[in-house]
Amino acid sequence: MGSPPAEAVELKNKGNDAFKKQDWPTAVDFYTKAIETYDQEPSFYTNRAQANIKLEAYGYAVADADKAIALDPTNVKAYYRRASANTAILHHKDAVRDWKLVVKNAPHDSTAKLRLEQCNKIVKRDAFLKAIEVEDAPSAAEGLDLDNMIVDPSYDGAKLGNEMTLEFVEDMIERFKNGKKLARKYVFQIIITVMELVKKEPTMVEVDVEQGQEITVCGDTHGQYFDLMEIFRLAGKPSEKHMFLFNGDFVDRGSWSTEIALLLYAYKWLYPSKFFLNRGNHETDDMNRMYGFEGECRAKYNERVFKLFSESFSALPLATLIGKKYFVLHGGLFSDDNISLDDVRKLNRFKQRQPGQAGLMMEMLWTDPQTQPGRGPSKRGVGLQFGPDVTKRFCEKNNLEAIIRSHEVRMDGYEVEHDGKCITVFSAPHYCDSTGNKGAFIKIGPEYKLNFTQFDAVPHPDIKPMAYASNGLQGMI
């Protein structure tokens, strides 16, 4: 194998510069150009793999690592990248195989040893959880005597009775800003009440925007509580006339996930027919165990709180149809052109609590748009990608203006693609304190025009993202 030409090295160096500036998309572009100039240099692929990991394009990262390994089977960095990407998409057995190779070839790498140990623990834990899984397990709410549960005397906030009040919500907002927690009794009350509310909602909620009303659609908030406060400052808070839809991924990664989940649930209780929540791919057990929400629930409250949240997440609707014009769901469209809104309406989301690796629920939570026509493999390594022709056919078949989805960082906070038929909105600015993206939300009034607002991240207390992830993932992704 020869040395790469100077032109290719220069392109790689430009990619490295962009990477240092945390401009991951530009880094990928430069590494791609370097590969197009000279495709026999393993470091071009391992560098692009790392940039793809930063972009959560884990499937692409695995493919890049595969290529580097094919060129140089002794490339430790390539095994490291592949192991990192497979860990992130919960392919822990594949990750263990690669971490073993890294440790064997770099025996003094303490980080790799730690990753191997953690992955082995996760493989064992998953096997144990599968072994004890019961199909009709009793609710985590069983045996909770809320009526007689005492509120700790040290709790100094507003009291919660049998009805949610605006006073309680406003007090919650301030408590959370100041790093205080809710009384555990109230946490249980909120989750259980909202779980019963959302269980009664259809799999696809259908809502119209009447005269004098508006609805604000938000994408991923990922535990970034102080940025959620900025959304409410700019958009206005929920009310009977100001509806909201949060389109999944309220939790994980950001370290105020319990605060966001509890506040959104409190608003759902306060305005049950005006405040809507779609499930995201992070409202699932395996992601919550990996990306911090389970650890946060345990640290701030207890394991039962996580179990109740898990139950409630599996009851959330999967989509919302706004004015029969906009189909809003977290991920995207389907592997089969024959799927219609009626199929979504008929989908029994209670049949399986977790989305699994295939089927309509998985696709609704995981898929992404692509620029080329047709369908392609997922850049994430989970689900698939769908092209503009797929979106066009779906919208025509179902008389839709567009689909609105979230699930992906957009540097401008939102993106309109597929000839205006596919809109991505992402509401976690400066995602994970590292991406430099704007956040955005969409307002829709009775005329059903889309009005976009972009916003920047606001300061927050010095707690890092993924602070509660117990598996050391924060150092890897």
The CATH number that applies at residue 284 is 3.60.21.10
pLDDT mean by block of 10 residues, the chain; 477 residues? 90 96 93 97 97 93 96 94 90 91 89 87 80 73 89 94 97 98 97 98 98 98 98 98 98 97 98 98 93 96 96 97 98 97 96 84 97 95 94 98 97 97 98 93 98 98 89 49
In a domain, 223, yes or no: yes
**203 with 344: CB under 8 angstroms?**
yes
Domain range for 181 is: 146-475
In a domain, 1, yes or no: no
**312 with 195: CB under 8 angstroms?**
yes
Domain check: are 238 and 379 in the same one? yes
Domain check: are 322 and 366 in the same one? yes
Q: What is the reported pTM?
A: 0.91
- Residue 416 pairs with which residues in a beta bridge? 423
Q: In what order do the strands lie in the sheet with 384-386?
A: 368-369, 384-386, 375-377
DSSP string, 409-429: --TTSEEEETTTTEEEE---T
Choose among 309, 234, 306: nearest CA to 264.
309
Sort 26 into a burial class: Cβ within 10 Å, 0-12 / 13-18 / 19+.
middle
Tell me the C-alpha to C-alpha distance, in Å, between residue 40 and each of 5, 29, 83, 90, 103.
11, 17, 22, 30, 26
DSSP state of 373: S
User: Which residue matches tokens 């290719």?
Assistant: 8
DSSP string, 268-284: HHHSTTTEEEE--TTSS
Hey, how many other C-beta atoms are within 10 angstroms of the C-beta on 146? 13
Structural domain count, the chain:
2
Sort 312 into a burial class: Cβ within 10 Å, 0-12 / 13-18 / 19+.
buried
Tell me the C-alpha to C-alpha distance, in Å, between residue 276 and each of 155, 189, 210, 242, 322.
29, 19, 16, 12, 11
Which of 102, 132, 162 terminates a domain? The answer is 132
Domain check: are 211 and 312 in the same one? yes
Residue 417 tokens, joined: 């693609």
In a domain, 344, yes or no: yes
Domain check: are 120 and 254 in the same one? no
Q: Which candidate in 91, 92, 222, 282 is catalytic?
A: 282
CA angle 112, 114, 116 (to 5 degrees): 70
Which of 132, 165, 187 terminates a domain? The answer is 132
Domain check: are 192 and 57 in the same one? no
In a domain, 398, yes or no: yes
**295 with 469: CB under 8 angstroms?**
yes
> How far apart, in whole angstroms, are the C-alpha atoms of residue 251 and residue 280?
9
Q: Is the dihedral of CA 219, 223, 227, 230 positive or negative?
A: positive
Question: What's phi and psi for 358, nearest 5 deg?
Answer: -155, 165
Domain check: are 121 and 196 in the same one? no
Please count the CA atoms within 13 angstroms of the CA of 230 that sit on its side-chain side. Answer: 20
**112 with 95: CB under 8 angstroms?**
no
In a domain, 137, yes or no: no
Q: In what order do the strands lie in the sheet with 326-329?
A: 204-207, 319-322, 326-329, 402-405, 422-425, 414-417
The CATH number that applies at residue 109 is 1.25.40.10
Quick check: is 282 catalytic?
Answer: yes
In a domain, 387, yes or no: yes
In a domain, 32, yes or no: yes
Give all strands (DSSP E) within 226-301, no chain letters. Answer: 242-247, 275-278
Sort 182 into a burial class: Cβ within 10 Å, 0-12 / 13-18 / 19+.
buried
Model pLDDT, residue 476: 47
Tell me the C-alpha to C-alpha distance, in Å, between residue 233 and each of 228, 249, 428.
9, 21, 15
**107 with 90: CB under 8 angstroms?**
no
Domain check: are 113 and 151 in the same one? no
Domain check: are 128 and 164 in the same one? no
Which of 105, 132, 159 terminates a domain? The answer is 132
In a domain, 62, yes or no: yes
Pairing of strands 384-386, 368-369: parallel
- Residue 368 pairs with which residues in a beta bridge? 385
DSSP state of 457: -
Residues with Cβ < 8 Å from 142, sequence gap 6 or more?
none
**322 with 215: CB under 8 angstroms?**
yes
**260 with 221: CB under 8 angstroms?**
yes
Choose among 453, 411, 468: nearest CA to 434.
411
